[in-house]
Amino acid sequence: MPKQDTNTMPALQGLEDSRSSVRLQAALALGTTPDPRAVDTLIERCAIEPDFYVRDMLTWALTRHPASTTVPKLVDELSSERAQARSQALHTLSKIGDRRAWPAITQALLTDADDEVARSAWRAAVVLVPEGEQPALAGVLATQLGRGERETHLSLSRALIALGEVVMPILSAAMTDPDPRVRRHAIATERLSHDPDAGFEFAIEEAKRIVALGTTGQEA
């Protein structure tokens, strides 16, 4: 394995460089020439890397390694106290798409207090959910309706819509929730599912109008 021997160590050192451009090239190199010895360092770097583009390249590098090596280590990261470690591990698991990780996508992660972790968990769950588990997942996701700001709303709406028709009865129930934020979010998600080209902003404004009138999505 001489090529890996000569390429891996300089690239691993490059991940610690203060310049993001150098770290980006290092992550690219570690994905271009995968070496199992690099996996631990790649995962560790994901937890602390401040640059979005470098984090994305780190994820790509991990997807280039065997899932049998990366998935168990990424699952271990899901219990980290560091929010970025949890979020990036979830993001990477969603990109790998190995359903053996599904049991690790717990309700605690789907309702994590950190918005970035929760959003990553929603995306990963939709990718990894086994056939037949969609209704239960939709039920958990629906408990997060009304949470956060626009980006969080949109992430949750996309996740719910990706689950298909199983979410419609749950959205219908949420349209009568006592919390107007939940009602608006449920109505906007239902509108978006029927007319994705209309865009999320339009769906939200329509939902606000419906809630202000005191009606439900079905009545409007």
Quick one: 85 exposed, middle or buried, by C-beta within 10 A (0-12, 13-18, 19+)? buried
Q: For residue 80, tell me if it sits in a domain.
A: no
Q: What is the pTM of this model?
A: 0.86
Q: For residue 204, tell me if it sits in a domain.
A: yes
Return per-residue pLDDT of the chain as tens, 220 residues.
Answer: 334 446 789 899 999 999 999 999 999 999 999 999 999 999 999 999 999 999 999 999 999 999 999 999 999 999 999 999 999 999 999 999 999 999 999 999 999 999 999 999 999 999 999 999 999 999 999 999 999 998 999 999 999 999 999 999 999 999 999 999 999 999 989 888 877 666 556 555 666 666 666 655 444 4
Distance between CA atoms of residues 182 and 116, nearest Å: 20
Q: Rounded to the nearest 10 degrees, how much is the dihedral formed by the CA atoms of 166, 171, 176, 179?
A: 130
Domain holding 194, by residue range, is: 129-220
Number of folded domains in the chain? 1
Q: For residue 149, tell me if it sits in a domain.
A: yes
Q: For residue 138, tell me if it sits in a domain.
A: yes
Q: For residue 188, tell me if it sits in a domain.
A: yes
Tokens standing for 103?
A: 């049991």
Q: For residue 52, tell me if it sits in a domain.
A: no
